[in-house]
A and B are shown apart, each in its own frame.
Chain A
Amino acid sequence: MEEDEFFGEKTFQRYCAEFIKHSQQIGDGWEWRTSKDSSDGYMCKTHFQVKNGTVVSHPGTSAHEQTCLPMEEALELPLDDFEVPETMAATDVIKYEYHVLYSCSYQVPVLYFRASFLDGRPLALKDVWEGVHDCYKTRLLQGPWGTITQQEHPILGQPFCVLHPCKTDEFMTPVLKNSRKINGNVNYITSWLSVVGPVVGLNLPLSYARAASQGE
């Protein structure tokens, strides 16, 4: 199917559905949520990161995660099962929420995210940056994503940090054009999230790359 680098809400939802399908297969935790008022929806994921580098072993960790987690501190833990071990303070754990929404004005996906302590206190933007690994910091400063700002989540109405979408098509277009020549089944969301995600602490397991190219 001939697709532009821009796409409509329906195509966005289709890409998200494919993405979530793979996420479910590997236990990566992404979900789809719809807004109460309309058929608009978004994709979201929550994960917990241990600030001080302590690794908490979790019995449910997916055995078929073939890749080592790029950020040693980052743990992908299901929301319900997470318990703070006694040795850790509540301030050692940061909860990250990532939401992927569709921007009608830019016709591209947009990444909203926020970080908070377990007691619900939000992290200041500067504290979020401290948690970003050094190599991502450089990428953050030099990347073509415009700015990171705080904005109201279009559906939830709560403040989130946002990677501005104005440059998205600029860095997505050449890659998509090239990959669609070779393989028509490219999932825009997978590709885009693989690029922008690491900047804000979100890493996609490599199996998404295989799933995307197989057109699951």
Chain B
Amino acid sequence: MAEEPESALQLPPSTAADGEGPTEVSPETATPEPPSSAAVSPGTEEPAGDTKKKIDILLKAVGDTPIMKTKKWAVERTRTIQGLIDFIKKFLKLVASEQLFIYVNQSFAPSPDQEVGTLYECFGSDGKLVLHYCKSQAWG
């Protein structure tokens, strides 16, 4: 898997013209410090644009999986599922023996190197992509 460059969490607004306020809005409630893995920032009120580089993702926990306090995230289109998995694992502070899976349409796991932008095109609605995530115990 190509190691995507770790772009800084503090990204300038993609559309400089609008005065929507700070892009890097901290989550509404106190959360653990987000890991430095990149290209994922808390959901903002970015205006819809044709060349929007990030898409909105809503993360929903399944089963016993801890619920993320920040559920809505703006993620770069080129971020892969594996990248998102790594991010959520760090955010939730899962131990190494725990695996995390992500699903579209509640039950289909996209391949780990599928890009979220593509998933958004196929499964997004109401301006966002809903992804369910579920942890499971690894073997041994």
Contacts and interface: CB of A to CB of B under 8 A. Distances in A.
Nearest to B118: A67
A44 B122 CA distance: 27
Nearest to A72: B113
A174 interface: yes
B138 to A, nearest CB: 5
A212 interface: yes
Interface string A186-210: 1000110011001000011010111
A175 B137 contact: no
A198 B112 contact: yes
Interface residues of B, number: 33
Interface stretch (B27-35, B67-75, B98-106): B98-106
Contacts of A206: 104, 108, 110, 114, 118-119, 122-123
A194 B108 contact: yes
- The A interface, classified by DSSP as helix, strand, loop or mixed, is helix
B113 A133 contact: yes
A90 interface: no
B136 interface: yes
A204 to B, nearest CB: 8
Contacts of A179: 103, 105-107, 132
Interface stretch (A32-40, A114-122, A143-151): A143-151
A104 interface: no
Interface residues of A, number: 42
Contacts of A175: 62-63, 101, 103, 106-107, 132, 134
A67 to B, nearest CB: 6
B139 A144 contact: yes
A136 B82 CA distance: 9
A57 B119 CA distance: 25
Contact of A170 (B80, B109, B111, B137): B137
A213 interface: yes
A178 B63 contact: yes
Interface of A: 66-68, 70-71, 133-136, 139, 142-147, 167, 170-171, 173-179, 182-183, 186, 190-191, 194-195, 198, 203-204, 206, 208-210, 212-213
Interface of B: 1, 62-65, 80, 82, 96-97, 99, 101, 103-114, 118-119, 122-123, 132, 134, 136-139
The 9 closest A-B pairs by CB, nearest first: A174-B63, A209-B108, A179-B106, A179-B107, A70-B111, A171-B136, A194-B109, A135-B1, A191-B107
